[in-house]
């Protein structure tokens, strides 16, 4: 019987999983981590352009995939318990964890479970989106309704509680994921579509380099209403609609160039929530040690590459074993025993 090394185990795709989605999730989390690491270096033009380009589609990509993988969500006991243990409880834990750097560095302790801080907004929004899944599956034109809600949300200054601006603004990407079927992803794997996807990403990066300085960063963060960004509702709605279309197009292009076969990082892609929730702690520390070396083009490239390595490291089995209590807590002790359906 052959023995597989721990590093090899990390690369093996989990049985029963499609490596395409794990590959996409891992590549996406590298963009998230690298994007956060270079966020404080945006006074360098290349860093600002890369940040702008990545933020156009990296979270929409995660949200589309989350929607697709949530198509079978129901309010059954098992699904509800998983929702609590994988989203609600980690949200509370990391709201507390991310309050510690503020306490240590700034002497400020500010905890509000209804107002997500830093990275935790995604857990809050995904929790609410997933709860709404059965509603969208009953509508005849769910994507049209979701886009309408997204545009209307930009016309009002919504409260920060429940991350309402992002939850409603990015809602169309989740609903789009719910509407997708396996044949749509098969279409993206065709050779001509892959070539078109690669060209689209290159064109998008070139366009981002050309316009990033003239477009307000808040448009790609989905955090504020139109008037808070300084535009009227008509202009803001057109801009939001353009961001939705651009995001969906870049998500499709990114998925088109994603490998569909098993790769060295397929197994890591099954644990991207670890990298997402943990990397913020590293980012907050790293930002305090950036020197002049980092504020150069080679420095930005080096920091971005470090982000790729950090993302991979945080998805490895040793890190997962040490932090599973926070990211994937075992909550069986908190639930009543599941009842078997009567025959």
Q: What is the per-residue pLDDT across 266-275, written as a single tens digit (0 to 9) for each?
A: 999 999 999 9
Asked if pLDDT for residue 3 goes beyond 50, the answer is no
Burial 114-142 (b: 16+ CB within 10 A, else e): ebbbbbbbbbbbbbbbbebbeebeeeeeb
> 58 or 9, which is more confident?
58
Q: Which of 132, 204, 209, 203 is nearest to 167 (CA)?
A: 132
Full-model pTM: 0.90
Give domain status of residue 335, yes or no: no
Give domain status of residue 6, yes or no: no
Q: Which of 225, 139, 206 is nearest to 175 (CA)?
A: 139
Number of structural domains the chain divides into: 1
Rounded to an integer, the average pLDDT of 147-176 is 92
Q: What number of other Cβ atoms are within 10 A of residue 43's Cβ?
A: 8
Contact yes or no for 10/317 (Cβ under 8 A): yes
pLDDT of residue 339: 65
Beta-carbon-side half-sphere exposure of residue 227 (alpha carbons within 13 Å): 6
Alpha carbon 319 to chain centroid distance?
20
Asked if pLDDT for residue 51 goes beyond 70, the answer is yes
pLDDT of residue 341: 58
Give domain status of residue 10, yes or no: no
Residues 6+ apart with CB under 8 A from 136: 142, 146, 175, 178
Give the model confidence (pLDDT) of 58-88 as tens digits. Answer: 999 999 999 999 988 877 767 788 888 899 9
Give domain status of residue 14, yes or no: no
Give domain status of residue 254, yes or no: yes
Give the model confidence (pLDDT) of 87-98 as tens digits. Answer: 999 999 998 888
Residues 6+ apart with CB under 8 A from 184: none
In this prediction, residue 183 has a pLDDT band, given cuts at 50, 70 and 90, of very high
Domain housing 53: 22-328
Give domain status of residue 94, yes or no: yes
Exposed / middle / buried, residue 285 (Cβ in 10 Å: 0-12, 13-18, 19+): exposed
Give domain status of residue 201, yes or no: yes
pLDDT of residue 171: 97
pLDDT of residue 80: 81
Handedness of CA 292, 294, 295, 297 (dihedral sign): positive
Give domain status of residue 12, yes or no: no
């Amino acid at each position: 019987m052959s023995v597989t090394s721990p590093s090899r185990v990390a690369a093996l795709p989990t049985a029963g999983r499609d490596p395409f989605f794990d590959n996409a999730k891992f590549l996406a989390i590298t963009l998230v981590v690298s994007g956060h690491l270079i966020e404080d270096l945006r006074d360098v033009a290349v860093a600002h352009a890369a940040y702008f380009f990545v933020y156009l589609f990296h979270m929409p990509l995660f949200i589309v995939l989350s929607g697709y993988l949530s198509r079978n969500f129901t309010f059954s006991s098992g699904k509800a318990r998983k929702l609590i243990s994988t989203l609600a409880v980690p949200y509370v834990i990391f709201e507390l964890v991310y309050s510690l750097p503020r306490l240590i560095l700034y002497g400020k302790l500010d905890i509000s479970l209804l107002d997500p801080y830093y990275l935790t907004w995604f857990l809050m929004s995904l929790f609410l989106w997933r709860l709404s899944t059965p509603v969208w599956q009953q509508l005849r034109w769910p994507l049209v309704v979701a886009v309408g809600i997204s545009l209307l949300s930009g016309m009002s200054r919504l409260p920060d509680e429940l991350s309402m601006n992002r939850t409603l603004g990015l809602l169309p990407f989740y609903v789009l994921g719910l509407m997708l079927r396996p044949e749509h992803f098969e279409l993206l794997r065709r050779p001509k579509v892959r070539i078109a996807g690669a060209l689209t990403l290159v064109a998008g990066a070139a366009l981002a380099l050309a316009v990033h300085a003239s477009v307000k960063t808040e448009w790609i963060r989905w955090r504020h209403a139109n008037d808070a960004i300084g535009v009227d509702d008509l202009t803001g709605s057109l801009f939001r609609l353009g961001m939705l279309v651009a995001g969906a197009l870049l998500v499709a292009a990114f998925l088109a160039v994603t490998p569909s076969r098993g790769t060295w990082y397929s197994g890591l892609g099954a644990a991207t929530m670890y990298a997402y929730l943990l990397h913020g702690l590293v980012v907050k520390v790293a930002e305090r040690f950036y020197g002049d070396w980092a504020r150069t083009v080679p420095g930005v490239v080096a920091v971005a590459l470090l982000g790729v390595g950090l993302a991979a490291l945080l998805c490895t089995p040793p890190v997962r074993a040490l932090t599973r209590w926070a990211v994937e807590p075992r909550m069986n002790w908190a639930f009543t025993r599941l009842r078997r359906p009567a025959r």
